Amino acid sequence: MNTLWHMADSTAPADSAAQPPADRPVYVIGGGPGGLAAAHALRAQGVRAVVLEKSERVGASWRRHYDRLHLHTTRRLSGLPGLPMPRSFGRWVSRDNVVRYLEKYAEYHELEIVTGVEVSRVEPSADGTGWLLHATGGRELTGSAVVVATGYNHTPHVPDWPGRDAFKGELLHAGEYRNPGPYAGRDVLVVGVGNTGAEIAVDLVEGGASRVRLSVRTAPHIVRRSTAGWAAQFTGILCRRLPVGLVDRMAGPLAKVSVPDLSAQGLPRPDTGLYSRVNEGAIPVQDVGLIDAVRKGRVEVVPAVDGFEDGKVVLANGDRVGPDVVIAATGYVRALEALVGHLDVLDARGKPVVHGAYCPDNARGLFFSGYVNPISGMLRELALDAEKIARTIARDRDHRHPSRITG
């Protein structure tokens, strides 16, 4: 079977509501790594899976990332089920090669993908045996189960800073940043010191910005991406199931050995544990040049942004600075409320109450993949979750339809 690449004016399998419940497909919402992995894993279990992707190509969010981006996880531990990443990609895979891999993955596994179709709402089917999806063009699709995989970095978030609309300089979200070319010779303030903000700040310095400041609200944990060939991801995997307090106690001394004290430059060591912060949603910053840039004063660390006033940026300590450009590396929101918020399956922060192979108690057959940011690597966990989800769906199908069990 060839991969199905339907454009927005094509017709998705709209007759699924008329099919017997046992023959309805599983719909996977999102054609990124999590969705593609889930679709392949389901097919490997003998379950028909149809991927619904709102853009015209798979891997849409990866195509929008900045040019210099490389995975912070190793190639060998970033492949999806059934197809390793090529060795030619190197140890730290570039953005462009991730996109190439996702395209190849869909082709290699002959995944059934419908592009140009956005799902706006999911609700139980009228007969109570599956799920009804409302999609682009008035489509109504009924699936036996649904895997929501629209991505952790779905909708850019820019804080509603007081006075920001009157700022005369350029204000953009990090998701709009591509490369330092447009900012050469300009004064740039990067707001947010996650991995994205840290890497963009280094990119700007290396690309010729006249001045680069990095606004930090909470000092991050910084780790070396690799030490003597040992990737930080390996440590993350080893620590994944250990008690939080134990990892916190272990991480402190290791950080003092491997990362210099940058307190004098405005980046003191955090006063909360590394793994405690991970559980709060703050992944450590992997160093790709930030330490050196801060030590040499090429990236200046400044306090958090409180707002804008009289054309200036107001910092938390009362200082006012006047950059030409403000880049908000202030994260993303999952934006799942319209899709499934009415089902009581999201927590107070808008994240699914369960993920992976587990369904919410009140929503059997509804799965979520890719809404946690684990210390062991997002792509690795997506791959593991995909296979767990597929096994759960296959077992449930066989339990409800025992005549389908073979061998």
DSSP state for residue 194 in the 8-state scheme = S
Place of tokens 């300089």: 169
386 residue type, one letter: A
Mean pLDDT is lowest, of 101-105, 228-232, 356-360, 378-382, for: 228-232
Q: Where are the alpha helices (DSSP H) in 296-350?
A: 337-340
5 has which bridge partners? 113
Q: What is the helix, strand, coil percentage profile of the chain, to 5?
A: 35, 25, 45
Q: Is the pLDDT of residue 405 over 50?
A: no
- What kind of architecture, by CATH, is found in domain 156-328? 3-Layer(bba) Sandwich (3.50)
The Cα-based distances of 1 to 37, 103, 109, 387 in angstroms read 18, 16, 10, 22
Q: Which two tokens stand for residue 397?
A: 């199908």
Provide the b/e sequence for 99-113 (b: ≥16 CB within 10 Å).
Answer: bbbbeebbeebebbb
Element (H, E) at 276: helix 274-279
Quote the percentage of the chain above a pLDDT of 70. Answer: 92
- Predicted local distance difference test score (pLDDT) of residue 3: 40
Beta strands 170-173 and 222-224, pairing class: unpaired
300 has which bridge partners? 213
**pLDDT bracket for residue 280 (50, 70, 90):** confident
Parts of the chain belonging to CATH 3.50.50.60:
4-154+334-404, 156-328
Cα–Cα distance measured from residue 188 to residue 323, given in angstroms and rounded to the nearest whole number: 5
As a whole number, mean pLDDT of residues 114-127 equals 96
**pLDDT bracket for residue 122 (50, 70, 90):** very high
- Predicted local distance difference test score (pLDDT) of residue 334: 87
As a whole number, mean pLDDT of residues 174-193 equals 97
Residues in the chain: 407
| Per-residue model confidence as pLDDT tens digits over 40-72 | 999 999 999 999 999 999 999 999 999 999 999
Q: Is the pLDDT of residue 216 over 80?
A: yes
Helices (runs of H) and strands (runs of E) counted in the chain: 10, 23
Rounded to two decimals, the pTM is: 0.90
Classified as helix, coil or strand, 313 is strand
Mean of all residue pLDDT scores within the chain: 91
- Predicted local distance difference test score (pLDDT) of residue 15: 52
CATH topology of domain 4-154+334-404: FAD/NAD(P)-binding domain (3.50.50)
Residue pair 114/53 in contact (Cβ under 8 Å)? The answer is yes
325 has which bridge partners? 170, 188
